[in-house]
Amino acid sequence: MIFRLRAGRIRKGTRMEIEHLEGAVEALLFAMGESVEVSAIAKAIGHDTETTRKIIRNMMLKYNAKDRGIKIIELENAYQMCTKEEYYDYLVKLALQPKKAVLTDVMLETLSIIAYKQPVTKLEIEKIRGVKSDHAVNKLMEYNLVQEVGRLDAPGRPLLFGTTEEFLRNFGVQGLDELPELDPVQMEDFKAEAEEEIQLRLDV
């Protein structure tokens, strides 16, 4: 079904123009992952709210008519893309699959610093690496390789981090005293790699 948009910049709705706008709306709703007010969508695609509602409601009809896994729902003055109820079982099966931990170079560096310097604060980790380490620490905690072990007795009482029993099992050691010695050259390598990481971010 092709409807004619009389508001905004489009006077006569062609199939290509409408499909382009629908693609833009689809991208916005998918990227946001939550409800988006129609006024915000309208502003993003360069049309008034009435025209935008027509576009979205036409999309809703298409999604409902086809055997698609997603749909668009209307929430007062907002719209959201979500999964159709009949496909929930597939999502549950995926969620129940065991997650495979993938340790990036940044995470391995952060883990090494925590293992050898524990108990250690994020600030101390960042002083060694030269960059923020929030994401790496959070992922290591998610993988149960790192845990909070207390707070430093200092202003602000920052959290202290250390390794877990899972860390020992994964790396095949019975205790921290069995870890190989970390020489100063390796610590300098951590700093050098962190500097490269910063430069890559600046170059993007």
pLDDT tens track for 57-81: 999 999 988 788 999 999 888 999 9
What are the strands, taking DSSP E only, across the chain?
36-37, 70-75, 78-83, 146-151, 159-163
C-beta of residue 161 within 8 angstroms of C-beta of residue 118: yes
Which domain range does residue 44 map to?
15-88
Confidence of residue 8 (pLDDT cuts 50, 70, 90): very low
Other residues' Cβ atoms within 10 Å of the Cβ of residue 161: 25
Residue 5: inside a domain: no
- The answer as to whether 94 is a domain residue is no
Rg (CA), the chain: 26
84 and 157 fall within a common domain: no
CA gap 134, 111 in Å, rounded: 12
Give the Cα-Cα-Cα angle 196, 198, 199 (nearest 5 degrees).
65
User: Can you read off the two tokens belonging to residue 193?
Assistant: 């790699």
Do residues 119 and 184 both lie within one domain? yes
pLDDT tens for residues 91-111? 888 877 766 667 788 888 899
- The pLDDT assigned to 132 comes to 87
Give 60's Cβ-side CA count (13 Å radius). Answer: 13
Same-domain pairing of 114 and 179 = yes
Q: pLDDT tens, 137-186?
A: 999 998 888 999 999 888 889 999 999 988 888 777 777 877 776 656 65
pTM value is 0.46
**CATH code (residue 170):** 1.10.10.10
Residue 117 φ/ψ, nearest 5 degrees: -110, 0
Instruction: Please determine, for residue 194, whether its predicted confidence score (pLDDT) is greater than 60.
Output: no
Q: Mark whether 120 and 162 lie in a shared domain.
A: yes
Residue 46 has pLDDT above 50, yes or no: yes
Report percent pLDDT > 70 for the chain. Answer: 79
30 inside domain: yes
Q: Which amino acid is at 21?
A: L
Q: Both 124 and 164 in a single domain?
A: yes
